[in-house]
Structure 1
Amino acid sequence: MDKDIKIKIIKITTPIEFNESERNITHVGDFFDFNRFNYCIKEKMKLVEKERLKTYKKTESFYIENYNEDFSQDFAVGNFISLKHGFISDNLNITEFKVTRQNEEDDAIKNKVSFLIDKKSGYFYIVNDELYVISIERLRNYFFIKKPKRMKYINKFNEENPKAFIDENNNKLYMTELLEPLPFLEKISKLKTVKSIKINPSKTIIDDEKDNNIFADLKQNLDKNNVGEYQTEIKLTKFKNKKLTDELKNFIEYLAKSKKYKDIAVEGNVSNNYPKKITEDSTTRDFYVKNEVDIKGFPIEQQLFQNIQSIIEEENQLNIDNSQYRGIKGVEL
């Protein structure tokens, strides 16, 4: 069975300081040293599974189950297990509609969350956790290692790179943030078809008392009838030609830039034929892949990783190299 799988993108960076000259030090924040992040993951993998487990609010836990740094020359892969627990609940057989067993507080609902790391860009592609246990805030600290082990890597790196150094005052070897989405009009260019365009008229248009102003007329009648608070929306749908033509793209650009309208939202399909809603305030750079799932509903990983790699190859924003800077090299421990 196929299923639409949501993929989130987390940007991993491993900042360095570069000695331009004796008095000039440049902070390189976007640099990605896979060996450095890999070192943090491998230190976690040295622990037994139970010691890798992180628990929050006594009801949510997760741990890294598998990791393969040698999946390919350009990618590493692995998976987390997320768990919901801490409550007594019943298992219900929906065919016979009867309780089959009772779950105790220590029994957990389990989800598998696969991930892929691009060794060049530092982008961490992770399946959306349907239990909502794994978040960027929790991943931000999950691979934390204590100072003695951090210094082991820092000292080796500084020794191998005389023109650069890692700031040992930073208590983490890596930084995480959500990858910023493309600008609105650039995101629109990724659409292949357009299903609908929604906009809100500005207050200036609604209050305009010129003749034939349908919004002003509507407002007067609503106010007269004491309807209360409301929001006016315009929605354009059922385009005869659904393709994103240059003419339609120019029209969307006009709406986005016009002071007459606000809060534009465009629905359509992207290149892999997935529905996408694009707004000006989108804060994440997520995407979907259609993937076969196993009997438990987990994505078949080999196909999943191939699908993600195909998206990376197609997208200029994703297919980048943050691992090169002035001859700096990572070290293996």
Structure 2
Amino acid sequence: MHDDQVDVTAETVAALVQEQFPQWRDKVIRPLPSTGTVNGIFRIGDGLSARFPLRLAGVAEAWAVLEQEARASAELAQVSRFPVPEPVALGKPGAGYPMPWSVQTWVPGTVAFEADPGGSDAFAEDLAAFIADLRKADTRGRLFRGEGRGGVLAHHDDWMAECFEESEGLLDVPRLRHLWSHFRQLPRRGADVMNHGDLIPGNVLVAGGRLAGVLDTGGFGPADPALDLVSAWHLLEPGPRDVLRRALGCDELEWERGKAWAFQQAMGVVWYYVETNPTMSGMGRRTLDRILESMQ
């Protein structure tokens, strides 16, 4: 998926576990098919999962990122009423794998790509409850770090220009450029609140049409209160989307900013993953379709 991607195999993972965590050496190592774009995932027995960064980075840089993600995941676990992975250990480079890696608890459920909950009002209510719990968490004076989504929409103009250029022939670019010219000007009123930061189908677990758990919690942190509203467009159809909005009490500006962040994310994944991760690319297309339909 990436020019700098690092390959990791079950044999490599088994060797790392044998060397660094011999208490798990008798557990079966299984690669987990995933639409994820940042980490390769392997199960260790039934109760653990190992995450291996796919994009090459220096050891010190990667270690700092994993430590920060572990702290964020542990903090989110304290406020979520729904199951989330909890940090267990950090592994070192070895066995031909050049970066540190992490081990978390395993959370059962089916990812929303495979068990689409988009038509479920009950799922929308669960999702709203999850977002509300995070919003209530204390920021402890922290502010948005200035990286990625969650700050100023117009700061993404350069990236969006690249996305529009790369999307020629894939999408109705003139119409989408016009839409971004509207989104980028939406003002921000609310102070930062705690957000998950990436509520896409691949990070959401479903069971029986309800929210069973949330994955990839290492990005938990302060950001635009509208950021987690991307889930309304990535995950929900119109009826349940309205349920989510009512449950969270979103005014028109916050709702539109959530739509804008979903638009920004969707524009990036359509072209970037069109060949290497069709599921993610398709998610972006569906999200854009939902947004365009809502604007009619």
TM-score by length of 1: 0.20
CA radius of gyration, larger in:
1
TM-score by length of 2: 0.22
Structure showing the higher strand proportion among its residues = 1
